[in-house]
A and B are shown apart, each in its own frame.
Chain A
Amino acid sequence: EDKVVQSPLSLVVHEGDTVTLNCSYEVTNFRSLLWYKQEKKAPTFLFMLTSSGIEKKSGRLSSILDKKELFSILNITATQTGDSAVYLCAAGAGSYQLTFGKGTKLSVIP
């Protein structure tokens, strides 16, 4: 059975801190690794990674994939209270659907 494991499950940091969120996966016929941010409603897309070692960046957020170690990280630098959310990692495999991890709940306090 396909599996995605995220750590930590929750994290509390102060504004300005840098955080690293972890995601490991075991899926058959892996195709892509996606990160989503979920605040109150729908998960919103952050990154899709398909190649090892190529960092993707968007502002203060960045992510990288290691296909050998079956691992991805999401970094957020200079955190702000608006970064508080649940961050979801998902692996796309041979079948259609994404398999999600249980998420990391990030709380950024002023």
Chain B
Amino acid sequence: DTAVSQTPKYLVTQMGNDKSIKCEQNLGHDTMYWYKQDSKKFLKIMFSYNNKELIINETVPNRFSPKSPDKAHLNLHINSLELGDSAVYFCASSPTRTGGVYTFGSGTRLTVV
């Protein structure tokens, strides 16, 4: 059983396109996150989402928007993709809003050409 699953694993797309990455967790966790990992392996928070409360990292461009249909899903939609958006995007979840152990998905490698 996959605890946190992301699809697709790889995504290659042209500049200017709109794309979505899906994330689902079956751990019963309350809080989900999106992280971006750059080529130097630095993981940076993009969003956290808990009981319909969204916290946005102010450095994230508004072309990025999270969408959560229910507690077990947090999708990431990206408009007007740019070359600099190329990275690995990780979804994660934690038991509560105050943290605990995060469980990560296996990542989505996005390449914008």
Binding site for B on A (CB under 8 A): 31-32, 34, 36, 38, 41-45, 48, 86, 88, 90, 92, 95-100, 102-103, 105
Interface of A is mostly: strand
Q: How many A-B residue pairs have CB under 8 A?
A: 61
Cα A41 to Cα B5 in complex, Å, equals 12
A-contact 0/1 string along B9-46, CB 8 Å cutoff: 00000000000000000000001010100001111110
Residues of A within 8 A of B100 (CB): 32, 48
Residues of B within 8 A of A95 (CB): 48, 55
Residues of A within 8 A of B105 (CB): 42
Contact of B101 among A34, A38, A86, A97 (CB under 8 A): A34
Given contacts A32-B99, A34-B101, A42-B90, contact A102 B107 (CB under 8 A): no
